[in-house]
Amino acid sequence: MNMRLIVLLIACCVLSCNQNSTPTNSQHQLPFFNNSDFTPHWFNENIVADSIHTINNFSFINQEGKKVTQNDFNNKIYAANFFFTSCPGICKTLTKNLLLVQNEFIKDDDVMILSHSVTPDIDSVKKLKLYASDFNINSKKWFLVTGNKDSIYSIARKSYFADEDLGEKKSTNDFLHTENIVLIDKHKRIRGVYKGTSVLQIKDLINDIKQLEKEE
């Protein structure tokens, strides 16, 4: 009888230890990305916030003809990408995959999607609205934006590190085309990069958004 009691006490102690050693959200924290090589970094709570790369301010026009700025994404988690409506290849696949993200978080006001046209001189508000309609894009959840080409290409390469090749400098004359989707947290910091044409990586994106919501 005493032996059974001892075994029971040992089992309770083991269970208690396992519960106490369960990783916290901070131990599962998503990495930060500070430069174009997308090397992941994990920082402790004492890191100076100013040392972490953030997305620059911006101002564009969405598919509803409304101005969109960084203020629309205050306290929001969002996925950002670059596309063009006449793209015959990966853009359609990328857009269809991003619909999985839209639909997963359709009732979650803290999560948004931001898609920038890389041919803003061609992609008018009317074309963006038609594209949104063709793909059942929710205009409250997902902004398709056009605007000044220099501004779009600048924020693409300097803020989101889109279309970078070994640090080689590019201009707006060099066409920007990338299938990357970049995950941005509520403090405008890059927390993940995903291949938009891969459904598996889109699922990773969805899971990471959920993890980020626990973190925030």
Q: Domain residues of the chain, as ranges?
A: 30-215
Specify the CATH class of 30-215 in words.
Answer: alpha beta
32: nearest Cα among 215, 201, 191, 210: 191
Across the beta sheet with 59-62, the strand order is 67-69, 59-62, 142-146, 111-117, 77-83, 180-184, 190-195
Task: Provide the pLDDT for residue 88.
Answer: 83
Burial label, 93 (beta-carbon count in 10 A; 0-12, 13-18, 19+):
middle
Would you say how long the chain is, in residues? 216
Diameter over CA atoms, the chain = 84
Full pLDDT tens readout for the chain, 216 residues: 454 444 444 444 433 444 333 334 445 789 999 988 899 988 765 666 668 999 999 999 999 999 999 999 999 999 999 999 999 888 999 999 999 999 999 999 999 999 999 999 999 999 999 999 999 999 999 999 999 999 999 999 999 998 754 344 554 455 687 899 999 999 999 999 999 999 999 999 999 999 999 987
CA quadruple 16, 17, 21, 22: dihedral sign: negative
- Which DSSP helix (H) or strand (E) runs through 11? helix 2-20
110: nearest Cα among 214, 1, 3: 214
Task: Provide the pLDDT for residue 175.
Answer: 60
Task: Provide the pLDDT for residue 167.
Answer: 44
61: nearest Cα among 53, 72, 49, 69: 69
Burial label, 5 (beta-carbon count in 10 A; 0-12, 13-18, 19+):
exposed
